[in-house]
Structures are given as structure tokens and as C-alpha cells.
Copies of this chain bind each other. A is one copy, B any other.
Amino acid sequence: MNIETRLVPTFADIEAAARRVHGVAVRTPLINSPALDDRLGAHVFLKAETLQRMGSFKFRGAYNKCSSIPQEKRAAGVVAYSSGNHAQGVAAAAKLLGMPAVIVMPADAPRPKRERTAALGAEVVLYDRDTEDRAGIAKKIMQDRGATLVPPFDDPFIIAGQGTAGLEIVDDLAKLGLKPDLAVIGASGGGLAAGISLAMKTRVPETVFYTAEPEDFDDTLRSFKSGQRETNARMSGTICDALMTERPGELTFPITSKLIGQGVTASDAEVGKAVAYAFHELKLVVEPGGAIGLAALLAGKLDVKGKVVVGVLSGGNIDPELFCRLIAD
């Protein structure tokens, strides 16, 4: 059964995605900081997807999905809805594959994200986060133009693409003679968490995973506890703009609930401190949503003493104004 029919991605799909993105996606470094190790009393490795093409992991899944579109459907292009990072990933992937792209984006998305998407040649359609339905707008564009939807997370090609980061993490640790004990992965729709946990758990089954989410946007954690997909009460009100999704995905949740099943949260204040820590100590630019796992680690939410710990710095696209406010506090 092929990947489109069975919908559930497998480890082999992640390996296939790795072959597709090879030489196109950046093989991002797995960063170790002696200062962070000393602070946490652990051996901590951060997968710097901030250094990925377009500044977040999203390019991986987007490129894997776009390159799966049959030749005869490519001229009609792709459409995506996104708060920003997925938009840039899709726009960059479409450009590299010579396909037109339409991106449906909230009007309050950080300016750099809007500008970069347009600079990649994508058509940007803005909508109001509180009153309009982005999925509906995208659906109309699909019908009108025959464009293929590139979903932000709920797609087997997207999940498999994000999973390629997990393969690289395990490979890089193996080169150091290490295996991961614990990994903390930010969760919004769950594409990254599903892909990385599937990749890492297949290779190192004893790894223990946690999702990390903003306080009050802990739909994944609540879903783990109730066993069904729970919904966030709001769709605004955290500095982690990349982590505001209504609920876990239909395809991602069965994977994350089985392979991860537990999670932690961090407050906006804790996330802000993590962004500042990344600036002062790690010399890395990390956006709030991309720093959620680091925030949980720094705030002591996880028992990491003596362990080989993996975190993912999932994105670095932050407004300079917000960045400067956070690093000054």
C-alpha cells in the first residue's frame, strides 16, 4: 500500500524523504554547549533547525510533499495556510521545484515571515485569525486553480519530511558514540513531534519523549491525558506564534500519543528567558515557538540529570523588536 493510501507514515517513508531532501535541505548541526551541560547537569544536544533553509524545520516536510506531486499537477501549483514558517517552507520548496505557490497567512503574522514568503515569489493572501477560516479560503483556491494543498502537519509526506531531522539527530549522536535518553520536541499540530519520534524511536527504542507546549495552549498534553484530540480555548495570546494550532492532527495524534504520550508546558516568561539565554550563552537566534523545548529544560520541568538529552530549536524567525525586548529583560 503506498503512502497516500495508508496515510500513516512509516520509518521507510522517512528514509525515502531523507533521500529526497538530501543536498536540498541543510543538514543542520546538532549543537552542544558546555555552559548548558554544566547548568543542567546533563549532556544536551540541540538540533539547530534555526539554521535550516528559511529558518525553520518546515522546509523538510514541504519539500518532501511538493516533490511527491505528479508532474502533470505541478503547473497548477500548491496552496498552503500558515502562521509563517510553513509558508516560507512551502514557498521555498515550490520555487526550487518550479511550481507556483499561494500562501494563506494571518494578517498578524510577524512581518519578516510575510515579506520573505512574498520574496520567494509566492502569492500571499491575508486573513483575520479571529473571524475568518483559513482552511476554507485555501479550499476555494484549490477548487478554482486545481492547486494541491500542502497541509502544515496532517499529511504523511509532511510528517515523514520532518522526521528526517530525527534521523540526523540519531546519526550525529552515534558518531559521538552516544544514544539519546530523552528528547523534548515542541508540539503544535504535531508534525515535527510525530516525525522525529517515529524516526528516533525506530532507531533507539528506549528513548523517552516529551512534547513541549505553551501554557494555556497545551492541547496535545490534554489530548494525551484524555485519549482524544482536545482543543485550545483560544487562538491568540502567547508569544509562541508558531505553536498556536486548534488541536493535534488526525494523523499526527495517533503517532505522538503512542510514541510520546507525555508532555510539559512553559510560560511565555520562561520562553522569553530561553530566547535570551540562546542569545547570551548559545549565540543563536531562536524564535519563541522554537525555544519552547529549551524553555522547559531551563525551567527544570524535566528530570535530565546525567542523561543524553535532545532538544530541537525548531525555528529562528523572530521580529527584531520582540527579540530585543526579550534579550534586554
**Mask for A13-38, Cβ within 8 A of B = 1, else 0?**
00000000000001001011111000
**A112 CB within 8 Å of chain B:** yes
A51 on the B face (CB < 8 A): yes
Chain A, interface residues (CB within 8 Å), range: 20 to 34
Chain B residue contacts of A320, Cβ below 8 A: 279-280, 324, 327-329
Inter-chain contacts of A31 with B (CB < 8 A): 29, 51
> A55 at the A/B interface (Cβ < 8 Å)?
yes
CB < 8 Å neighbour of A285 from B29, B35, B283: B283
List the B side residues contacting A34 at CB < 8 Å.
26, 53
Residues of B within 8 A of A83 (CB): none
- Chain B hits for A324, CB < 8 A: 320, 323-324, 327-328
Q: Which residues in chain A, 66-103, are within 8 Å of chain B measured between CB atoms?
A: none
Write the A311-325 contact mask toward B (1 if CB under 8 angstroms, else 0).
Answer: 000001000110110
A280's nearest neighbour on chain B, judged by CB, is B112
Contacts of A316 in B (CB 8 A): 283
- Nearest-neighbour CB distance to chain B for A286, whole angstroms, equals 8
CB nearest neighbor in B for A55: B283
Cα distance, A50 to B329, chains bound together (Å) = 21
A280 to B115, CA, bound (A): 12
A323 to B193, CA, bound (A): 33
**Which A residues between 185 and 243 are near B, CB-CB below 8 angstroms?**
none
List B contacts of A279 (CB < 8 A). 285, 320, 323
Extra inter-chain contacts (9) besides given A112-B280, A283-B284, CB under 8 Å: A26-B33, A29-B29, A31-B51, A35-B53, A279-B323, A280-B320, A283-B286, A320-B324, A321-B328
Question: Can you name 30 A-B residue pairings with CB atoms under 8 Å?
Answer: A26-B33, A29-B29, A29-B31, A33-B51, A34-B53, A35-B53, A50-B283, A51-B282, A51-B283, A51-B284, A112-B280, A279-B285, A279-B320, A279-B323, A280-B320, A283-B284, A283-B286, A283-B316, A284-B284, A284-B285, A285-B285, A320-B324, A320-B327, A320-B328, A320-B329, A321-B328, A323-B327, A324-B324, A324-B327, A324-B328
